[in-house]
């Protein structure tokens, strides 16, 4: 898998123009959702390099990261003469970059694409690393491909208009990156003033967070080994997310990851001796900023079934990434049903539900 270039933009128009000039293109297509069409498109549609771009727009929200939306993008590309020499630019959050990346990877067996992430979550997670895909059969990212963008343009000015919930959704992935890197990074994240955001500081923190992910992806692009570190919090988190979607009460991805971090750090404490003090600090941060995901013991079997469908599993055995301590990563860890149910008990007790 080719390495994608991450560009920390000082001037978005200049960076985008330079990126486009690298290709011999016949047409440019721009993918937005209803939110980024309204809030972000005005910023770039005046760029000279975008004057002839054809916009494709889809509905917003993870519920629309599915086959019908993908087929719509394919149809628009086909009906407006896209070829293997065309470029797709994805302007949006993780749903847009995931779906748009997969559309580009599969249309005519692959056309180049550029990601311009507009949310914190997509900047530090979805838009980088080369994973693309859609939800299918009630399961998160069930269909997809490893297909990195030609480049990813990071423009943190988009974050100035981000609502509180989507800010914290992205911040959960940054917290995960801190946990798998070092205590200094983690402490900076836990101490950051999220009530009065210093955007200059946030820009540097985003860049550091992306660097953590990119370093791991470069070593292990197709998740055969250490890239599984990036799944910390996700085995439980994806189960929470899938169950909420099944209940037609979807939750933001980063919130599910935050709740999943509580569970998987507790597993780390039980199985590997992870620090009780850091576990308490993370629980407190999650309680204060994410609230709790509510479920009862009646839901344990259903959540467990969702965990059994996780893509990291082997031969039906549920697979976790756990930590001995901050930055000391242990991949391919397992836990039996009783231990997982005990973790559900701990989560409900410590989160006050």
pLDDT tens digits, one per residue of 146-172:
999 999 999 999 999 899 999 999 999
Return the DSSP state at 81: T
Q: Are residues 144 and 12 located together in one domain of the fold?
A: yes
pLDDT of residue 2: 64
Q: Using the predicted structure, report yes or no on whether residue 142 has a pLDDT greater than 60.
A: yes
> Smallest Cα–Cα separation from 230: which of 270, 251, 261?
261
Contact between 123 and 94 (Cβ < 8 Å)? no
Q: Are residues 246 and 279 located together in one domain of the fold?
A: yes
Q: Are residues 186 and 312 located together in one domain of the fold?
A: yes
**Main-chain phi, psi angles of 12, to 5 degrees:** -65, -40
Q: Are residues 342 and 218 located together in one domain of the fold?
A: yes
Characterize the bridge pairing of strands 28-33 and 328-334.
Answer: unpaired
Q: Are residues 154 and 57 located together in one domain of the fold?
A: yes
Q: Are residues 127 and 171 located together in one domain of the fold?
A: no
Q: Are residues 232 and 308 located together in one domain of the fold?
A: yes
> Smallest Cα–Cα separation from 339: which of 269, 275, 289, 267?
267
CATH number of the domain to which 105 belongs: 3.40.50.1970
**pLDDT tens digits, 209-233:** 999 999 999 999 888 899 999 999 9
**pLDDT tens digits, 172-202:** 999 999 999 999 999 999 999 999 999 999 9
d(CA 247, CA 311): 22
CA atoms within 13 A on the CB side of 335: 25
Q: Using the predicted structure, report yes or no on whether residue 294 has a pLDDT greater than 80.
A: yes
Q: What is the pTM assigned to this prediction? A: 0.91
Burial class for 156, CB neighbours closer than 10 Å (0-12, 13-18, 19+): buried
CA dihedral 286, 287, 288, 292 (to 10 degrees): 100
Residue 155 lies in domain: 5-161
pLDDT of residue 127: 83
Buried b / exposed e over 220-230, threshold 16 CB at 10 Å, is: ebebeebbbbb
């Amino acid at each position: 898998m080719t390495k994608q270039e991450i560009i920390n933009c000082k001037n978005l128009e200049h960076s985008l123009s330079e990126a486009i000039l690298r290709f011999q293109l016949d047409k440019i297509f721009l993918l937005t959702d209803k939110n980024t069409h309204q809030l972000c498109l005005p910023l770039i549609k005046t760029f000279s390099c975008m004057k002839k771009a054809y916009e494709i727009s889809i509905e917003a929200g993870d519920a629309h990261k599915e086959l019908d939306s993908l087929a719509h993008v394919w149809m628009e590309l086909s009906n407006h003469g896209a070829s293997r020499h065309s470029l797709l630019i994805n302007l949006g959050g993780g749903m847009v970059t995931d779906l748009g990346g997969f559309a580009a990877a599969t249309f005519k067996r692959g056309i180049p694409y550029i990601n311009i992430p507009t949310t914190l979550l997509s900047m530090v997670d979805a838009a980088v690393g080369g994973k693309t895909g859609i939800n299918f059969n009630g399961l998160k990212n069930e269909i997809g491909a490893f297909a990195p963008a030609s480049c990813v343009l990071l423009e943190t000015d988009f974050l100035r208009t981000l609502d509180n919930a989507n800010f914290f959704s992205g911040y959960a992935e940054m917290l995960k990156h801190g946990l798998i890197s070092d205590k200094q990074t983690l402490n900076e994240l836990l101490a950051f003033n999220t009530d009065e955001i210093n955007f200059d500081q946030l820009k540097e923190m985003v860049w550091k967070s992306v660097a953590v992910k990119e370093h791991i992806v470069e070593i292990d692009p197709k998740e055969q080994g250490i890239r599984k570190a990036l799944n910390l919090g996700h085995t439980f988190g994806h189960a929470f997310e899938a169950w909420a979607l099944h209940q037609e009460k979807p939750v933001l991805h980063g919130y599910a990851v935050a709740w999943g971090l509580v569970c998987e750090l507790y597993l780390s404490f039980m199985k590997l001796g992870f620090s009780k003090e850091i576990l308490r600090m993370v629980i407190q941060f999650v309680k204060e900023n994410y609230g709790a995901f509510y479920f009862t013991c009646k839901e344990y079997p259903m959540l467990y079934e969702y965990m059994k469908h996780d893509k990291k599993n082997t031969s039906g055995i549920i697979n976790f990434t756990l930590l001995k301590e901050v930055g000391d990563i242990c991949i391919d860890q397992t836990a039996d049903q009783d231990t997982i149910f005990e973790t559900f008990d701990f989560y409900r007790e410590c989160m006050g539900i």
